[in-house]
Homo-oligomer: A and B are copies of this chain.
Amino acid sequence: MRTLSSELTKHIGEKVVVKGWLHKKRLLGGLTFLNIRDRGGLVQLVVKDKDEVEKLRGLQLGTVLSVTGTVVAEPRAPGGAELHDAALEVLMPVEAESPIEIDKPISHKPENLDTLFDYRPIGLRNLQEGKIFKIRSELLRYIREFLYKNEFVEINTPKLVAGAAEGGAEVFKLDYFGKEATLAQSPQLYKQMMVGVFERVFEIAPAFRAELSATTRHVSEVTMLDVEMGFIDGHEDIMNFLQDLVYNTLTRVYAEHGDDLKSLQAPELVLKPEFPHYTMATIHEMFTKETGKDTSKEIDLTPEEEKWICAYAKKHDGCEAVFATGLPESKMKFYHMKGENGTARSADLLFRGIEISTVPQREHRPDVLIAQMKAAGVDPEASGFAAYVSAFKHGLPAHGGFGFGIDRLTEKTIGLANVKEAILFPRDINRLAP
């Protein structure tokens, strides 16, 4: 029977078997201290026996070990207990020296990121690095649980599609048995069609964009949450739903993983259940007044304004998530619904200095939709769009939804500098492996 590091204090005085990786070795006052890593954390061993110490000589970090020893309470040890009289058995020897010092903080400086990603499977053995992806896994769980509670049906839509949903240029193309296929940039069309069936649907899946830019923001494969819901009264319903989802998810991850977030130097969470709303025009006006830089002609918020309004709302409203409303029509996609006075029925959600999601109502009237498609240069009768248009002709209620990147959410939750740090094996213009 194997005992996990996390269960050690339940076995004080008992002889147990621990299995894991050699994580750290040090000599102190004639004793050898070892840390063994398992999925629960670290176990500290104290080795006195000369034969056992001899075995340790030359053992590389990463060596897979089984250790038998007696559990002794020790407040200074990780987890509050350590193993004495430890007898070691090597389960899997390691000859290669670790390319990364896994027991020391790993640099995330821009110049070190390539090394970080090249040695991902080794670097993640560093406990701090691993936490990033445990938190990511938890974010996914919390989001799904919130959606299930709200009667959403999970769907899986195809990633091999006949046309580009958003009509964009940045699509990956491939030969599909002699036809041209593209990799889905989003499940947009599919999730809207499914509103006619289940009213409320979601999907968490990869999405692909052939991003030519090599920046901290551009990756060619992301993990997207996509949500769509029918029978709304306006895009405010969607805004409120997204607000509740984000509030629930973030407060929960801070409540349940506060220590890990703190150790990762994540900023404190400053959030209220109701996020403040500012119109785009107001933000331009306030920003211009404050900084002297005139942004009144901008269609969108500038990156600087995104940062500014989040900081402003954090300070003045006690909430670092904020909605920008009154988005201009010119920001619309063909499947969005127009609002009044040149606005779209839509809003942007900003969090910690960046837009994380857009929450539009969709255009559900088939005649208006078809006109908007044509105006956007999208052929409503093309094979990638025929079923989409047909779903509207057979009755879709007022609906809306949103999508956001799980990578981006993880990055912003933890306070990482680059979205790629929140992706296990990031893909960009220069990186296709590992």
Most B-side CB within 10 Å, residue of A91, A121, A173 = A121
Task: Tell me the smallest distance from the CB of A366 to a CB of chain B, in Å.
Answer: 9
Bound complex: CA A386 to CA B157 (Å):
32
Give the contact-size bracket for chain A: 35 or more
Residues on A lying within 8 angstroms of B by beta carbon are 2, 19, 21-22, 38-39, 60, 62-64, 91-92, 94-96, 98, 118-122, 124-125, 130, 133-134, 136-137, 140-141, 144, 148, 151, 153-162, 172-177, 179, 181, 183, 189-190, 193-194, 196-200, 205-206, 208, 210, 212, 220-221, 223, 231, 364-365, 383-384, 386-388, 390-391, 393-398, 406, 423-425, 427, 429, 432-434
A-B contact pairs, 8 of them (CB 8 A): A38-B199, A91-B398, A92-B398, A137-B154, A156-B206, A159-B159, A176-B432, A177-B429
Known contacts being A395-B62, A395-B64, A433-B161, is A231 close to B197, with CB within 8 Å? no
Structural contact, B365 and A156, CB atoms closer than 8 A: no
Structural contact, B434 and A160, CB atoms closer than 8 A: no
Structural contact, B162 and A94, CB atoms closer than 8 A: no
- A383's partner among B206, B212, B433 (CB-CB below 8 A) is B433
Structural contact, A221 and B158, CB atoms closer than 8 A: yes
Structural contact, B176 and A174, CB atoms closer than 8 A: no
Structural contact, B432 and A193, CB atoms closer than 8 A: no
Structural contact, A199 and B39, CB atoms closer than 8 A: yes
Structural contact, B395 and A63, CB atoms closer than 8 A: yes
List of B residues within 8 angstroms of A387 by Cβ? 118-121, 433-434
Task: Tell me the smallest distance from the CB of A232 to a CB of chain B, in Å.
Answer: 11
List of B residues within 8 angstroms of A189 by Cβ? 434
Structural contact, B200 and A92, CB atoms closer than 8 A: no
- A198's partner among B39, B92, B212, B398 (CB-CB below 8 A) is B39
**Residue of B whose beta carbon sits closest to that of A95:** B393
List of B residues within 8 angstroms of A212 by Cβ? 177
- A432's partner among B39, B60, B160, B397 (CB-CB below 8 A) is B160
Structural contact, A125 and B196, CB atoms closer than 8 A: yes
Bound complex: CA A148 to CA B387 (Å):
37
Structural contact, A179 and B432, CB atoms closer than 8 A: yes
Structural contact, A394 and B433, CB atoms closer than 8 A: no
**Residue of B whose beta carbon sits closest to that of A184:** B206
Task: Tell me the smallest distance from the CB of A64 to a CB of chain B, in Å.
Answer: 5
Bound complex: CA A122 to CA B395 (Å):
9
Most B-side CB within 10 Å, residue of A134, A144, A397 = A397
